[in-house]
Amino acid sequence: MFVPNKLWSIDGEERLSAHLDFPCTTEDLATRLHDINQTLQVQVPDFVQQLNESTLEKAMLRLPVSPGESDEFISFSLYWEGQSPEDAWVLSEDLTEDS
């Protein structure tokens, strides 16, 4: 699903923001997440009973790039294992540069 040529931005997560310049590539993000080595939780809608490969699509927020446009970008609401869902932060596909 994640392609190395995509760019990503983060809002509300200090550990990643302190070590990465955003937008960053998928490879840079994956490397940093691997270095942190902590499980991420994906916030999912209440109607999703269990998060797995088939339900992950329901956890993705597909948001319009601009009002009225059909182009979309992907965004996830995430939190670290052991944190509360209220501590969630946002990982979004960044479309400010060509990806």
Q: How far apart are CA 89 and CA 53, in angstroms?
A: 21
Tokens of 97: 């540069």
- Could you give the CA distance from residue 41 to residue 36 in angstroms, rounded to a whole number? 14
Please write the tens of the pLDDT for every residue from 40-86.
888 765 655 555 666 566 555 554 444 455 556 777 888 999 999 88
- Number of Cβ atoms within 10 Å of the Cβ of 6: 19
Which residues have C-beta within 8 Å of that of residue 23, sequence separation ≥ 6? 7, 8, 9, 94, 96, 97
Q: What is the pLDDT of residues 3-39, one digit of tens each?
A: 557 899 999 999 899 999 999 998 899 999 999 999 9
Q: Is residue 78 within a helix (H) or strand (E), and if so which, with residue range?
A: strand 72-80
- Prediction pTM value: 0.69
Beta pairing class for 24-25 and 7-11: antiparallel
Position 37 scores a pLDDT of 92
